[in-house]
Structure 1
Amino acid sequence: MTGTTMVVLIVFISVGFGVMYDMYKKHLEFKEKTLKHNLSSDAQAQELQQTITDLKRRVAALETIVTDKNYSLKDEINRL
C-alpha cells in the first residue's frame, strides 16, 4: 500500500465514522421526540377516558331521573 492510498483510506474511514455518529445522534433525538409525543398522547387518552367515565355517570343519573315514576306523574299533571 502506498502512502497516498493509506491517507485516502484514513480520510474515508474518518468521514464514514463521522457520518455514522451524526446519524446515531439524529436517531437518538428522534427517539426522544417520539417518547415525549407518546407520553403526551397517553396523558390525553387518560384525560379523555376520565371524561367519558364522567359523562356515562351523568347520563345514568339523567336516565334514573327521567324513568322515575314521580317524574312521569309530574309531566302528566303539567299536560293537564
Structure 2
Amino acid sequence: MNGTTMIVLIVFISVGFGVIFDMYKKHLEFKEKTLAHNSESDEEKKQLKQQLSALTERVQVLEKIVTDKNYSLKEEIDQL
C-alpha cells in the first residue's frame, strides 16, 4: 500500500464517520421531537377524557330530570 492509497483511505474513513455521526445526531433530534409531540398529545387526550366524563355526567343528570314523573306532570300542567 503506497502513501496516496493510505491518504485516500483515511479521507474516506473520516468522511464516512462524519456522515454517520451527523445521521445519528439527526436521528436523536427526530426522536426528541417525537417524544415531545407524544407528551403533548397525551396531555390533550387527558383533557379530552375529562371533558367527556363531565359531559357524560351532565347528560345523565338531564336524563334523570326529563324522565322524572314530576317533570312530565309539570309539562302537562303547563300545557293546560
- Is TM (by shorter chain) over 0.5? yes
Q: Distance in 2 between matches of 1:74 and 1:57?
A: 24
Cα shift at 1:16: 0.2
Cα shift at 1:11: 0.2
> Where in structure 1 do 4 or more consecutive aligned residues deviate above 3 Å?
none
Write the deviation string for residues 34-78 of structure 1: whole angstroms up to 9, x where unpaired: 000000000001110111000000000000011111110110001
Which residue does the alignment assign to 1:15? 15
Which residue does the alignment assign to 2:6? 6
Q: Distance in 1 between matches of 2:65 and 2:74?
A: 12
Cα shift at 1:23: 0.3
Q: What SS is found at the alignment partner of 1:44?
A: helix
RMSD between superposed Cα atoms in Å? 0.4
Aligned-residue sequence identity (percent) comes to 69
Give the TM-score normalised by structure 2. Answer: 0.99
Q: Distance in 2 between matches of 1:19 and 1:72?
A: 77
Q: Distance in 1 between matches of 2:77 and 2:13?
A: 92
* Matched residue count: 80
Which residue does the alignment assign to 1:67? 67
